């Protein structure tokens, strides 16, 4: 291959020439900001108007997970690799909410203001904020350490459902995935058996808290379970099929990319996947998708009246104005 390039008019020609020259020795990374100007939504009745902008906020974050609405309406998410929780105000001002988060991933605010998180540095669930009220809720099950605690959802009765998505950095370890429940009394039980779900990831409750949704990254479906009075689960169903099925991920494994889950005031389920943010009605019917420049990891409603959908993934953050607000009975 020759390195000679045609003469192009300045200044555009000079910029293109530099890009092409760089591509001869290394792939060109196109930033999220470059794509975001053209990211527009299709019409999804009750969700977004056609042509609504997917607004780019910033990229370069060190991990983008665990998004929720803060009590003041701002948006929080975790930079797991940076070991901090980051805050985005409605005007897109970015600040640090909490340093030294023990690798917090999924988040939930309790009614008393305690911030409960799943923590990947020690693979446990506990309170990390406010200062002085930190505590561990569970760090193992029947003497066995968790492999990679991932996401959680807090019920009105104080019970907590959380996922263990299997081996984290130790990819050679035997997978032991599962879903767990911490009762209001503080007792933990496994509610989905080991490896019954290939890779349980995002987790969410229906508005009436009679159904638990679990995103299966390793499969084509978001699963649903009926919730019993004691918090245990039954009646597993393939609730919602992710469009375009399974694709190879960065590691070469087949994956739907199904990850973060959120619900709106009408009970619609929002799912991040390989194809963007997929929206389903409360019966699991696919309604449409919101395109995102980079494959998203998680999603939550925040802002004034929870009418802004925030999307994070691959180090970037975006937001979209929506027609129906997020469910007011939960932080996500």
- What is the phi-psi region of residue 121: left when phi exceeds 0, alpha when psi lies from -120 to 50, beta otherwise? alpha
| The CATH fold of domain 31-321 | Neuraminidase (2.120.10)
User: What pLDDT score was predicted for residue 173?
Assistant: 81
* Structure letter (DSSP) for residue 252: S
Contact 231, 248 (CB under 8 A): no
Mean pLDDT in residue range 286-303: 95
- Residue 218 preceded by cis peptide, ω within 30: no
DSSP structure string for 256-290: -----EEEBTT--EEEEETTEEEEE-TTS-EEEEE
Instruction: Using the predicted structure, report yes or no on whether residue 15 has a pLDDT greater than 50.
Output: no
Contact 158, 127 (CB under 8 A): no
- The span from the CA of 52 to the CA of 239, in Å, is 28
Instruction: Using the predicted structure, report yes or no on whether residue 19 has a pLDDT greater than 60.
Output: no
User: Which pair of structure tokens corresponds to residue 206?
Assistant: 């229906």
Least confident of 20-34, 79-93, 269-283: 20-34
Strand partners, 115: 109, 129
* Structure letter (DSSP) for residue 41: P
Domain positions in the chain: 31-321
Over residues 268-288, the pLDDT tens digits come to 999 999 989 999 999 999 999
User: What pLDDT score was predicted for residue 14?
Assistant: 37
Instruction: Using the predicted structure, report yes or no on whether residue 265 has a pLDDT greater than 70.
Output: yes
- Neighbouring CB atoms inside 10 A of 267's CB total 16
SS3 label, residue 326: strand
Instruction: Using the predicted structure, report yes or no on whether residue 3 has a pLDDT greater than 60.
Output: no
Over residues 124-165, the pLDDT tens digits come to 999 999 999 999 999 999 999 999 999 999 999 999 999 999
């Amino acid at each position: 291959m020759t390195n000679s390039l045609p003469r192009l008019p300045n200044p555009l020609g000079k910029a293109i020439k530099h890009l092409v020259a760089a591509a001869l020795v290394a792939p060109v990374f196109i930033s999220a900001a470059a794509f975001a100007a053209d990211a527009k939504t299709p019409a999804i009745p009750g969700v977004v108007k056609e042509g609504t902008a997917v607004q780019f906020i910033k990229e370069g974050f060190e991990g983008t997970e665990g998004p929720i609405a803060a009590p003041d309406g701002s948006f929080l998410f975790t930079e797991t690799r940076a070991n901090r929780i980051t805050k985005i105000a409605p005007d897109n001002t970015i600040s640090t909410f909490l340093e030294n988060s023990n690798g917090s991933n999924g988040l939930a605010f309790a009614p008393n203001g305690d911030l409960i998180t799943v923590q990947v540095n020690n693979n446990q669930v506990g309170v990390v904020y406010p200062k002085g009220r930190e505590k561990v809720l569970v760090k193992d099950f029947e003497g066995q350490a968790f492999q990679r605690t991932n996401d959680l959802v807090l019920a009105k009765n104080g019970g907590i459902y959380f996922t263990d998505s299997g081996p984290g950095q130790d990819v050679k370890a035997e997978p032991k995935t599962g879903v767990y429940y911490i009762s209001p009394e503080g007792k933990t039980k496994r509610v989905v058996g080991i490896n019954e779900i290939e890779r349980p990831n995002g987790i969410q409750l229906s508005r009436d808290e009679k159904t638990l949704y679990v995103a299966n990254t390793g499969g084509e479906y978001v699963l649903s379970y009926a919730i019993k009075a004691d918090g245990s689960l039954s009646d597993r169903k393939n609730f919602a099929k992710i469009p375009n099925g399974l694709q190879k991920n960065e590691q070469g494994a087949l994956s739907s990319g199904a990850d973060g889950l959120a619900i709106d005031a009408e009970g619609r389920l929002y799912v991040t996947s390989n194809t963007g943010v997929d929206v389903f009605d409360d019966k699991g019917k696919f309604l449409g998708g919101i395109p995102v420049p980079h494959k998203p990891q998680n999603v939550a409603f925040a802002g004034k009246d929870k009418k802004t959908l925030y999307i994070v993934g691959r180090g970037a953050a975006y937001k979209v104005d929506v027609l129906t607000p997020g469910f007011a009975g939960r932080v996500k």
